[in-house]
Homo-oligomer: A and B are copies of this chain.
């Protein structure tokens, strides 16, 4: 059933998303002694992979539901993605955003026709605000990551990679709420050939690493990471998939993230956000494991506030 869901999703979202390019860097390959392939979701519509899952979720709604709109809470990329998906599919999006979200992300939501409702920057306030909109407007709540349709949609990035590079031995993706890594691991399970999925996570928000150890969903006490897309925790939809299909999770330091981000910017000449650099940072921090291998890295997005760069 998940096989069909993935294949159907890929076909149905195709008119609304970009098939992003896969880039390589001789310098990075030389540094790692591996063949590394970067799936550039920073070039995706809305600047991140999130449009895949958002589009798939909106596509499942009835006409009456679309009429009433969708609502989500998101600190960033999913906000833009759901706004854009709703706009493309003739619906409307209510976006609950923390008041502290970067201006560049608020601007993008507004540009894509999303209606922003600001709230205090904590999970409880976000959930309450979203629930109140749901009740007031009849809009359908779509979670940024803990949603089967969203998870399936995010898996299509790995699906595209495996179509072009069927013999990949690893795919590395960053872990935030778990939607991308869960979708990726499903796609790789059904369409890979012995390929392993490895998650990449900052030490500062290593809830997924600890969740796999303890067998239950762990939370982060603090979120002192530059990888602003990875602060959220796993959910009851994403966690069981991750438990079943993800090989392991590599944790990286903040310095590792900045070094990897700078390497991508300077050598590949592409703009990636810190959360995306976490995946390359993971490979750089465990070179022996990946030496001589064909490794896919999902560059999850490129939405950065250029006024707040770490270098």
Contacts and interface: CB of A to CB of B under 8 A. Distances in A.
Contact of A311 (B42, B47, B262, B306): B306
B266 A306 contact: yes
Contacts of A302: 269
Contacts of A239: none
Interface string A297-308: 000001000110
A309 interface: yes
Nearest to A108: B266
B306 A265 contact: yes
A5 interface: no
A271 interface: yes
A266 B108 CA distance: 11
A50 to B, nearest CB: 14
Nearest to A310: B306
Contact of A309 (B47, B266, B268, B309): B309
A216 to B, nearest CB: 37
User: 8 smallest A-B Cβ distances: which pairs?
Assistant: A269-B302, A269-B271, A42-B269, A306-B311, A270-B270, A43-B269, A265-B271, A269-B270
Given A262-B306, A309-B309, 13 more contacts: A21-B21, A23-B43, A42-B269, A43-B268, A47-B269, A104-B266, A265-B306, A266-B306, A269-B270, A269-B271, A269-B272, A270-B271, A306-B311
